[in-house]
Structure 1
């Protein structure tokens, strides 16, 4: 609204014959919005996507705090993730900040009428993701063990039309513990609400139908950015992003054609993390600028950045950095 108001003001000045002084704010000037809970800000000028929610990581990487956009500001929620769906009507709220504890009860929030619908899941779950149409929620399902470790048993889907969760058993039974819970071997939508995929071995990504049966295996295309990416497929569903290699210099991101499994593009290895898609021609990546400065950038498929979307200053805490951005959720 502020951008629109500025545009109307600029038109009014032009029509009145008044000259705009050099250096006066134009409609192209960035509108930065402060991020709650961290020393960061987001560029809120009109664009393809908008930051709708994010999670801050703290406690040496073991806990999340979820934040949600409310009008022109961000507010802390009682969820570890408050994931906004495309279209921005629905929010999936995952309670309890402790990442190693999967949840069997979540909230589905309808922002149109303000109602919160508690939903009991058929199995403990983590790692929410919305389908591209914003109608179906996907979660990764687990079976618990007495020692605190978990075994991934498949995935859960829930459509907002009936809010009935459905458990589908799929894939190898990977056992995970500690920092791997909610991150490694999680399921993602594969460009549509009709299929999912997950990493199932070194350089092996498996594609599944919604009945849990394997459809395809991508080999030698890298892994997935499971720690940082809320989604890995491009908006059209034609491409998906992988992590080809990682070392102390950073990560190299691969852009894979879903239909053929061919790696079409490779970035340089100066990227800290893949964070999502801006559109089919641009990805969102995280980079360090100096020791304590992080930027989330819009970059082309070769990794060349042309716009800083988020700037964040890291503050050293007791055991690690103070709460800072881990997962960002840009939506259309």
Structure 2
């Protein structure tokens, strides 16, 4: 179990539930880069040369995102605040489905697993700091927005980490539980938070993770499913691997399908065709998109969100499960920087509307 400390109420829009909220008058506002959000228009995303197309009546909306910089080593977390996006003190500020909770992981350096997270209650405006039983990375919310999942590690003196399982946080109770699960994988540098992370497996009582490494080859890659006591319940073999660099949630809203990458090498974080897997049968039911660079998540059960790149512009698209009927959701111009590109999108978090 964990200890939780409660901070003061956050002024302005933190005190409101999801929906249209006032501008942030508090400490973030004076240093925030913001972009106006208006339904049905292309609007600027803060911190990057990106634009969002938010159609009226869409089942999901962009709630938060992380920009990557420093050659892939650091993140800035941005959060939707009513009619704008605001840079936060977190590397990931992950908004939960339903809009009440935000999970914040401090420190932009991705290779540092953290022993505390902030849990922000947007209904009360309070921030609760949760002490965790192990260092963690890689937050994901359950579909009902009540449980936070994190990947847990054992640290080593050289800065590398070994995965030991996962931590679940009950948002309402503000308690954390460590579960040992899966094989131990030692990760370092770019692999921390991106390799062998845990995801929910279509429901709040199951999780899954890639069991072996890219050396196994795409036909022998294994994805294991565990219950919340860490017992292995199932293994998918030969269905590809999870896009751990870009995907916040691999499962469709119904929990019936999940998305994978079918290419040969995943260490560089993207590229190759997408596989859509039936979770019950374990069969790949759709394949598409040899030009797709990333699987970013789900729009609804009939459409995925993928990333493509064209002439220096990165595009997030809604596509049907054959890869067609593409609609651009985000367009982002990549700008060269001293080490790589200037801060640009790596993880986008579309959540279902309340």
Q: Are positions 1:117 and 2:110 aligned together?
A: no
Q: How far did residue 251 of structure 1 move? A: 1.2
Does the CA-based 8 Å contact 1:157-1:166 persist in structure 2? yes
Cα distance between partner residues in 2 of 1:143 and 1:125: 9
Of residues 281, 289, 297 in structure 1, which corresponds to 2:317? 297
> What is the TM-score normalised by the length of structure 2?
0.84
Question: 3-state DSSP class of the match of 2:92?
Answer: strand
Cα distance between partner residues in 1 of 2:154 and 2:126: 30
Q: What residue number does 1:140 align with?
A: 151
Q: What residue number does 2:44 align with?
A: 34
Cα distance between partner residues in 2 of 1:270 and 1:33: 26
Cα distance between partner residues in 2 of 1:297 and 1:269: 14
> What is the TM-score normalised by the length of structure 1?
0.89
Cα distance between partner residues in 1 of 2:142 and 2:148: 6
Does the CA-based 8 Å contact 1:33-1:72 persist in structure 2? no
The one-character-per-residue Cα deviations of 1:247-279 (angstroms, maximum 9, x if unpaired) are 799311100000110000001311011000000
Q: What residue number does 1:66 align with?
A: 77
Q: What residue number does 2:28 align with?
A: none
Question: 3-state DSSP class of the match of 1:179?
Answer: helix
Q: How far did residue 305 of structure 1 move? A: 4.1
In the TM superposition, what are the counterparts of 1:214-293 in structure 2 within 5 Å? 214-245=232-263, 250-290=271-311, 292-293=312-313
Q: How far did residue 173 of structure 1 move? A: 0.6
Larger Rg: 1
Cα distance between partner residues in 2 of 1:175 and 1:162: 32
Question: 3-state DSSP class of the match of 2:273?
Answer: strand
Does the CA-based 8 Å contact 1:104-1:121 persist in structure 2? yes
Of residues 106, 116, 125 in structure 2, which corresponds to 1:105? 116
Q: How far did residue 289 of structure 1 move? A: 1.5
Cα distance between partner residues in 2 of 1:48 and 1:126: 28
Moved beyond 2 Å, runs of 4+? 246-250
Cα distance between partner residues in 2 of 1:159 and 1:120: 13
Cα distance between partner residues in 2 of 1:227 and 1:160: 25
Number of residue pairs matched by the alignment: 304
Structure 2: state its 5+ residue gaps.
1-38
Question: 3-state DSSP class of the match of 1:165?
Answer: strand
The one-character-per-residue Cα deviations of 1:93-148 (angstroms, maximum 9, x if unpaired) are 01000000000011000111111000010000000000000000000000001111
Q: Are positions 1:167 and 2:178 aligned together?
A: yes
Cα distance between partner residues in 2 of 1:76 and 1:246: 36
Does the CA-based 8 Å contact 1:129-1:231 persist in structure 2? yes
The one-character-per-residue Cα deviations of 1:196-221 (angstroms, maximum 9, x if unpaired) are 00001141000000000000000010
Backbone CA RMSD of aligned residues: 1.5
Q: What residue number does 2:140 align with?
A: 129
Cα distance between partner residues in 2 of 1:288 and 1:305: 17
Does the CA-based 8 Å contact 1:246-1:252 persist in structure 2? no
Of residues 209, 214, 225 in structure 1, which corresponds to 2:227? 209
Q: Are positions 1:310 and 2:334 aligned together?
A: no
In the TM superposition, what are the counterparts of 1:71-110 in structure 2 within 5 Å? 71-110=82-121
Q: How far did residue 298 of structure 1 move? A: 0.1
Q: What residue number does 2:7 align with?
A: none
Cα distance between partner residues in 2 of 1:326 and 1:315: 14
Q: What residue number does 1:323 align with?
A: 343
The one-character-per-residue Cα deviations of 1:147-202 (angstroms, maximum 9, x if unpaired) are 11110000000111211000000000111011000000000000110000000114
Question: 3-state DSSP class of the match of 2:346?
Answer: strand
Q: How far did residue 301 of structure 1 move? A: 0.9
Structure 1: state its 5+ residue gaps.
1-28
Q: How far did residue 330 of structure 1 move? A: 0.2
